[in-house]
Amino acid sequence: METPDALSAIFTRRSIRKFSPRPVEGRMQETLLRAAFAAPSAEDAQTRRIIVITDRDTLDSLPALHPSATPAREAPLAILICCDTSTAPQTLFWPQDCAAATQNIMLAARAMGLGSLWCGIHPVEAREQAFISAFSLPGMVRPVSLILIGYPLQDFFDEQRWNPKLVFLNRWGHPFEPSGPTE
Ligand SMILES: Cc1cc2nc3c(=O)[nH]c(=O)nc-3n(C[C@H](O)[C@H](O)[C@H](O)COP(=O)(O)O)c2cc1C
């Protein structure tokens, strides 16, 4: 398998909604988790907590908890990203911390040829309650995102979204032009 460089992984990661049932190797699972913990967090608080889901019955139960989790019936792996809001230091930025971990997992997945789908949980209260109950999360633990992961049955591709009209230089409304030294 050819491993894309970091920028290719960023540009060609796509939400994958069709997965092969082929299991994800243990060393790849660990790399995904290491990528999550490598993500930045406000004040380096690292309050993220993670549940790795490989049990077939549990994977099959996910569509009942989340409207977009139907592909979990084929996917061999899901990762639930939570925040323990009872630990210190605690900051207001825990949703972003969990989002950064989610994105790191998805980019690491892409780099290893795995597909992934981000199923948003927080701040949709009904979804949070469904996961708190199904996974017996302790009182101060908040579920933030569910990531479905597996070998993709869809292609990765680069989708051009770059729109310089949405970028300003130094102040709002002033068109952006790249500046600085040329290579
Ligand atoms: C915070 C967040 C929540 C998301 N929640 C869902 C979701 O619940 N269901 C879903 O199918 N996709 C979800 N997505 C994936 C987006 O729909 C997807 O990233 C977007 O359509 C762009 O497609 P791409 O991932 O292929 O670039 C979520 C993405 C983010 C960043």
Domain membership of residue 51 (yes or no) is: yes
Atom of ligand 1 nearest to the CA of 159: 27
Task: Tell me the residue range of the domain where 119 lies.
Answer: 6-154
Cα–Cα distance between 1 and 54 in angstroms, integer? 24
Mutation pick for ligand 1 pocket among 118, 128, 131, 145 (CB with most ligand atoms within 8 Å): 118
In this structure, what are the phi and psi dihedrals at residue 148, rounded to the nearest 5 degrees? -90, 140
Whether pTM > 0.85 for this model: the answer is: yes
b/e map 95-111, b = 16+ CB within 10 Å: eebbbbbbbbbbbbbbb
Q: How many angstroms is it from 179 CA to the middle of ligand 1? A: 33
Nearest residue (by CA) to ligand 1, atom 15, is: 118
Residue 50 in contact with residue 81, Cβ under 8 Å? Answer: yes
Mutation pick for ligand 1 pocket among 12, 14, 15 (CB with most ligand atoms within 8 Å): 15
**Residues lining ligand 1, Cβ inside 6 A:** 14-15, 68, 117-120
Kindly provide the residue ranges of all beta strands, DSSP E only, lying in the chain, ordered along the sequence: 48-53, 77-84, 115-120, 141-150
Cα–Cα distance between 27 and 60 in angstroms, integer? 24
Domain membership of residue 47 (yes or no) is: yes
So what's the pLDDT on residue 50?
98
Domain membership of residue 179 (yes or no) is: no
So what's the pLDDT on residue 182?
75
Cα–Cα distance between 176 and 160 in angstroms, integer? 18
Q: How many angstroms is it from 146 CA to the middle of ligand 1? A: 11
So what's the pLDDT on residue 179?
86
CATH code (residue 24): 3.40.109.10
Domain membership of residue 59 (yes or no) is: yes
Domain membership of residue 141 (yes or no) is: yes
Q: Residue 107 has which token pair?
A: 């980019």
Domain membership of residue 123 (yes or no) is: yes
In this structure, what are the phi and psi dihedrals at residue 34, rounded to the nearest 5 degrees? -60, -40
Domain membership of residue 30 (yes or no) is: yes
Our count of domains for the chain comes to 1
Nearest residue (by CA) to ligand 1, atom 1, is: 120
Domain membership of residue 57 (yes or no) is: yes
So what's the pLDDT on residue 1?
64
Residue 102 in contact with residue 147, Cβ under 8 Å? Answer: yes
Nearest residue (by CA) to ligand 1, atom 6, is: 119
Q: What is the pLDDT along the chain (183 residues), one digit of tens a residue?
A: 678 999 999 999 999 999 999 999 999 999 999 999 999 999 999 999 999 999 999 999 999 999 999 999 999 999 999 999 998 888 899 999 999 999 999 999 999 999 999 999 999 999 999 999 999 999 999 999 999 999 999 999 999 999 999 999 999 999 998 888 877
Residue 106 in contact with residue 118, Cβ under 8 Å? Answer: yes
Angle 92-29-44 (CA atoms, 0-180°, nearest 5)?
25
Q: How many angstroms is it from 148 CA to the middle of ligand 1? A: 11
DSSP state of 183: -
